[in-house]
Amino acid sequence: MPPVHAGTARAVHAARPGLVEIECPAGTLPDGDVCVHLPTADDVDEAEAPSSPNAHRERSGRWSIYDQIPRRPDRPADYDAYQYPVPPGMPDGHSVVSGYDLDRPDPSQRRGPMLHAVGHGGVDLPQARGTPCLLVPLERQQGDADVLYVGPYFGTTVMTRHTVREGGQLRDYIAIFGHMDGVAPGIAMGRTLKRGDVVGFVGDTGSRELVHLHYETRRVRDGVDVLKKLTAGPAALLDDAVSIVCDPRNVLPLRDAAADVP
């Protein structure tokens, strides 16, 4: 970054006659008669998480091949290391009752008599019915999020779009809030959402066996206009040709007591 000229001269450095010691603002250090910016984590662009193919056998018996983005090795495996739209709701203080498993071999993916799909592309966050679900900005998100869709999909669902800087460019991500009891007042397509805005409320619509929030993230493929795809309905946004399912731990912010969503 370009040097910042400081305006306050303090004293002549005794060890080096003629050199003026200057007072530099926070985040900079003196270099001669200028203040230079100190690199921070935000200045170092994060590499794009690579996608990889995987497959599972659907309930129909069809062998389905899909792209997915597994957790990067540099991201913590512990689900409790991350911020979520709702506070921890399990009796032991944990947040996630069912995690991401689309990177696992077919036999290890989630199945059950009450489940419509094989595998789990998000995280299930149990909480009391009616608990507010808050907007969490993704890591390296640029600007605010905006609402893409409100209506039925995973029960009562809201989908939001987030622009994230990674791999030297801007990428769009879709976040999905599913099985909610209801949507917050004023939430509608096109609305801009900031950190901590209420998206909806925890419920069990479309999933009567568990009161929880289903939270999922997907990276939009290059060159795809999600608004045009949305005219075909919300399912079009989750098509493998439109977006790639992503382990949420790649893009959720790490927990920080000073930065937790209120």
Q: What is the pLDDT of residues 165-179, one digit of tens each?
A: 998 899 999 999 999
pLDDT digits (tens, 9 = 90+) for 189-241: 999 999 999 999 999 999 988 999 999 999 999 999 999 999 999 999 999 99
110 lies in a domain? yes
Mean pLDDT of 43-70: 88
255 lies in a domain? no
CA distances from 148 to 64, 156, 158, 162, 239 (A): 27, 14, 8, 10, 15
Q: 102 and 37 share a domain?
A: no
Q: 27 and 111 share a domain?
A: no
Integer Cα distance of 219 and 166 in angstroms: 11
221 lies in a domain? yes
Beta strands in the chain (DSSP E): 9-12, 20-22, 28-31, 34-37, 52-57, 63-69, 122-126, 132-134, 145-153, 155-166, 169-183, 192-193, 198-202, 212-220, 243-246
Question: What is the domain count for the chain?
Answer: 2
pLDDT at 43 exceeding the cut of 50: no
158 lies in a domain? yes
Mean pLDDT of the chain: 87
> Looking at per-residue confidence, does 64 or 115 come out higher?
64
pLDDT (0 to 100) of residue 189: 97
CA angle 232, 148, 196 (to 5 degrees): 160
SS3 213: strand
Q: 65 and 16 share a domain?
A: no
Mode of pairing for the β-strands spanning 212-220 and 122-126? antiparallel
pLDDT (0 to 100) of residue 209: 86
pLDDT at 26 exceeding the cut of 60: yes
pLDDT (0 to 100) of residue 176: 98
Q: Lowest mean pLDDT: which of 46-50, 51-55, 86-90, 158-162?
A: 46-50
pLDDT (0 to 100) of residue 136: 98
Q: Is the pTM of this model over 0.85?
A: no
pLDDT digits (tens, 9 = 90+) for 120-167: 999 999 999 999 999 999 999 999 999 999 999 999 999 999 999 998
pLDDT (0 to 100) of residue 49: 86
Q: 81 and 171 share a domain?
A: yes
Q: 27 and 84 share a domain?
A: no
Residues of the domain holding 28:
9-41
Q: 105 and 218 share a domain?
A: yes
Q: 64 and 36 share a domain?
A: no
CA distances from 30 to 4, 37, 38, 154, 183 (A): 9, 9, 10, 55, 52
CATH number of the domain bearing residue 112:
2.70.70.10
- One-letter amino acid at 53 equals P
pLDDT at 17 exceeding the cut of 60: no
> Looking at per-residue confidence, does 209 or 182 come out higher?
182
